Amino acid sequence: MQQIKIQAEVAAPVEAVWSVYTDHVGWARWAGPQEVVLRQKGDPPPNGLGAIRVIRARGIAVEEEITAFEPPKRMVYRLVGGIPVVRDHEGEVVFEPFGENTRVVWRVRFRPLIPGTGWLLETVLRPQLQGILDRLVTYPFESGR
């Protein structure tokens, strides 16, 4: 299994960061994809456990299912379609208080379809994930904690 871990500190309280990050359709406004469609609502509606989101960017559509939803601490998802060279892709995003800020830790595990190519897939995936976290860091959260 190939593993990637990235993290960032966001200058906003955990609840605010959680709310923005787990608003799947809202990703189109800040995270970089061209479009995000909620194919199936989750529990709690709309973004919770069982939600299925389709993220479209750069000519690729990735479909992900939310498999754990623990507000405002943790969300886990698994890839259910869109990247045929990746198997068993699972992501976990953890939100931790860090003083008045939030530490976001994003872990991704996957198995490459072709053994020995995990490092190559990581060189593509890591900057994409880091870019999303970088945009979350600069998201205009309302001040006044």
pLDDT of residue 145: 45
Rounded to whole angstroms, the Cα distance separating 37 from 27 reads: 10
Edge to edge, the sheet with strand 52-57 lists 2-10, 101-112, 86-98, 74-81, 60-70, 52-57, 35-40
**Local confidence pLDDT in tens for the 145 residues of the chain:** 999 999 999 999 999 999 999 999 999 999 999 999 999 999 999 999 999 999 999 889 999 999 999 999 999 999 999 888 899 999 999 999 999 999 999 999 999 999 999 999 999 999 999 999 999 999 999 854 4
Written as one string, the DSSP assignment of 21-84 is: HT-TTTHHHHTS-SEEEEEE--BSTTTSBT-EEEEEETTEEEEEEEEEEETTTEEEEEEEES-T
Domains and CATH numbers, the chain: 2-137 (3.30.530.20)
Q: Which helix (H) or strand (E) holds 3?
A: strand 2-10
Map residue 12 onto helix, strand or coil.
coil
pLDDT of residue 123: 95
pTM of the predicted model, to two decimals?
Answer: 0.94
Tokens 């406004």 map to which residue? 29
Map residue 117 onto helix, strand or coil.
coil
